[in-house]
Amino acid sequence: DAKTTQPPSMDCAEGRAANLPCNHSTISGNEYVYWYRQIHSQGPQYIIHGLKNNETNEMASLIITEDRKSSTLILPHATLRDTAVYYCIVFNDYKLSFGAGTTVTVRA
Amino acid sequence: GAVVSQHPSWVICKSGTSVKIECRSLDFQATTMFWYRQFPKQSLMLMATSNEGSKATYEQGVEKDKFLINHASLTLSTLTVTSAHPEDSSFYICSARDPVPTQFFGPGTRLTVL
């Protein structure tokens, strides 16, 4: 399984963009990058996924480097409700394996 | 996004009893569902993969006779914790995979065994 590396924690200011990095240097050509987040005591919430191209939806943008060895999730205008653990996952064999993720704290 | 429900959201039971947790995909059919367990301050751990109409596939170290999984329809999977003990107390989360495939998660079930 391709593994991912994320910083354990990061703070960001309310109203500012939050840029969450993820390294996945062993990703295979047909593996997708998925992002989920988990707010305390809730099930994970799907955010976005991508293969090669950058992707954007109503929640976030996903920037994948050309060599696909890393990606960045961008929350354009962070709010207090975005405080959560964010997981970057390389999708392999139809099973999502969760690492430790990045604990993001949005501060007023 | 697609909606996955779980019932109950929390349950307290006595040691030795069995507890059933239901997972439903509300607006799509899911041939594959997954069950995870999460202990406090830890990440999610995959327990088993449930395929409609066939036996579940359990991850290494998960006792299949203790955690019974049934996926009888394209919208329903159940997890039964048999003869529950305090060490089984945890947050159990299911997910369902849509055709994309993207996994959507339920809200979780908090199990406390006294």
Of all residues in chain B, the one with the smallest CA distance to A85 is B43
Q: In which band, very low, low, confident or very high, does the pLDDT at A1 lie, cut at 50, 70 and 90? A: low
> Alpha-carbon Rg of chain B, whole angstroms?
13
B14, burial (CB in 10 Å: exposed 0-12, middle 13-18, buried 19+):
exposed
Which residues numbered 67-96 in A keep a CB inside 8 Å of some CB on B?
Answer: 87, 94-96
Q: Tell me if B44 and A100 make a contact (CB, 8 A cut-off).
A: no
* Section A41-65 average pLDDT: 95
User: Is the per-residue pLDDT at A10 higher than 60?
Assistant: yes
- CB-CB: which of A41, A45, A100 is closest to B43? A100
- pLDDT recorded at residue A93: 66
- CB-CB: which of B46, B102, B110 is closest to A49? B102
Pick A2 or A84 by higher pLDDT.
A84
Q: How close B43 comes to chain A (CA, Å)?
A: 6
Q: Tell me if B44 and A49 make a contact (CB, 8 A cut-off).
A: no
A97 and chain B in contact, CB less than 8 A: yes
The per-residue pLDDT of chain A, averaged, comes to 93
Q: Are A5 and A101 in contact (CB under 8 A)?
A: no
B19 and chain A in contact, CB less than 8 A: no
Q: Rounded CA gap, B103 and A39, in Å?
A: 17
A43 and chain B in contact, CB less than 8 A: yes
Q: Tell me if B106 and A43 make a contact (CB, 8 A cut-off).
A: yes
- pLDDT tens sequence across B12-59: 999 999 999 999 999 999 989 999 999 999 999 999 999 888 889 999
The per-residue pLDDT of chain B, averaged, comes to 94
Bond into B101 cis (ω within 30): yes
